[in-house]
Structure 1
Amino acid sequence: MAKKIIPLIASTLAVVGAVDPTLKIKTFVDVMPLKWDFDPVKASYWTGLLHHRRTPFAVSRDGNTGYIAYLDPNGTGVHVQHIEPSTMNIKGPDVTIENVYEAGGIVAYNHGFALLGNEPIPSTTSNAPPSGTDYPQGTPVPAIYQIINDV
């Protein structure tokens, strides 16, 4: 599978300001090779119309750890890539969270992250919200995943 490169101009501007506001603005175009193909424009499961899927990005409070989350090419999982915020290079292995159909947001810690995802639950689940969509795996509901890396 070919690796896809994400252009991170806008995200980088936010990172530079968050890490150290005295730094001059830097841009890093096409520097982050991702393990999985990535296409942010997908048909929505609720209308079938094309729209941009979220690609959340976050930097830890100390500015040393960053994470970017993106939907995998088949749309059935979210990949979270650990990066070095000052260079936008990959810092560690990616984490795949299966059966998550969109990444709604991410919070970076010094030693891990928390991801807000959208996962399906079967419509037969007790007290499940009504579906009203053509979501084949069930009703989409928000879920939070926390990953803590070993120190």
Structure 2
Amino acid sequence: MLHQNNFPTKERGFTLVELLMVVALIGIISALAIPNFISSQRAARAATAISSLRLIHSSESSYNSAKGSYESLETLGAAGFLDDPSLRSGSKEGYSFVLSLSDNNGKFEVSATPLLVPSASQYFFIDTSGVIRAETGSAADVSSTPIN
């Protein structure tokens, strides 16, 4: 015995072709949106790294004016010259910050290295001069291209 459906043809739901078209459209939109999103994230992290380097330089300069020397990030924080707890610990927004002090000439250097390292990552560097330098794909240093 055949059982007949009581639903009109128009109310049966979506066809397989319609569902495949929606899935394909979502795939196309994702393929366009995800790279832009990742690029925006990378740019935002780089901007945060640059502003963090400026903050570290400003904190070191203020500390040097008040105390006559340059100090570690932890010491700057403990003395009230660096208020950002993330920077005091040496990392912020996907970047690691390493401060090197020179005992010989009373100078400092700070390098900002991305924690996730795709080949297009930007590395940053600042020293006592206050000039921020950048390098793509490898560590920045005093010979890298200035960005300000």
TM-score strictly above 0.5: no
Q: Indicate the structure whose relative CO is greater, using CA pairs within 8 Å and at least 6 residues apart.
A: 1
The structure where helix makes up a greater share of residues is 2
With structure 2 as the length reference, what TM-score do the two structures score?
A: 0.31
The structure where strand makes up a greater share of residues is 1
Structure of larger gyration radius = 2
With structure 1 as the length reference, what TM-score do the two structures score?
A: 0.30
